[in-house]
């Protein structure tokens, strides 16, 4: 065995520094991950809430339009949201995006919406959630 071969073998087996990460390197990496998460999580939460609010506005528009069309076509207001579904004005009663259930608050009035209307019924619908929107208003007031 020559001198260069024995030196090469010794250098490969006995490195001055063991492979792996030091505690300081791991702490730095974990700190960077925590900083990135502290920025990403609130942004993600706000975007989810904004999407749910857009969905609520869309569902309210759909239900109010169906109530109006039902009232004008049938000359009477629907007595429940299920009347809209059975009369095929909507495919199904959508879930309230804020409560995740189809538990809408309906407003029934004795006021007639049109001249030809024969019976009063539902004239409006609101979210059943008691939470506050990002604009400061209650979801139940939308």
- pLDDT over threshold 60, residue 3: no
With a cut of 80, say whether residue 129 has pLDDT above it.
yes
Which is nearest to 77 in space by CA: 33, 125, 32?
Answer: 125
How many angstroms from the chain centroid is the CA of residue 27? 34
**Distance between CA 67 and CA 89 in Å, rounded?**
8
Closest CA to 141 of 113, 109, 105, 93: 105
Residue 125: its pLDDT value, please?
Answer: 95
Q: In whole angstroms, give the CA distance from residue 76 to residue 89.
A: 14
């Amino acid at each position: 065995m020559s001198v260069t071969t024995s030196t090469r073998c010794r250098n490969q087996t006995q490195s001055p520094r063991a492979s792996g990460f030091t505690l300081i390197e791991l702490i730095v990496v974990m700190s960077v991950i925590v900083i990135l998460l502290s920025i990403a999580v609130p942004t993600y939460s706000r975007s989810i809430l904004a999407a749910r609010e857009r969905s609520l506005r869309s569902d309210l528009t759909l239900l109010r339009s169906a109530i109006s069309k039902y009232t004008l076509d049938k000359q009477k207001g629907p007595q429940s949201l299920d009347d809209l579904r059975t009369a095929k004005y909507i495919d199904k009663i959508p879930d309230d995006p804020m409560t995740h259930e189809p538990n809408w608050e309906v407003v029934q009035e004795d006021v007639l919406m049109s001249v030809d209307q024969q019976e009063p019924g539902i004239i409006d619908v609101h979210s059943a959630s008691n939470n506050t929107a990002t604009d400061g208003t209650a979801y139940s007031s939308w």
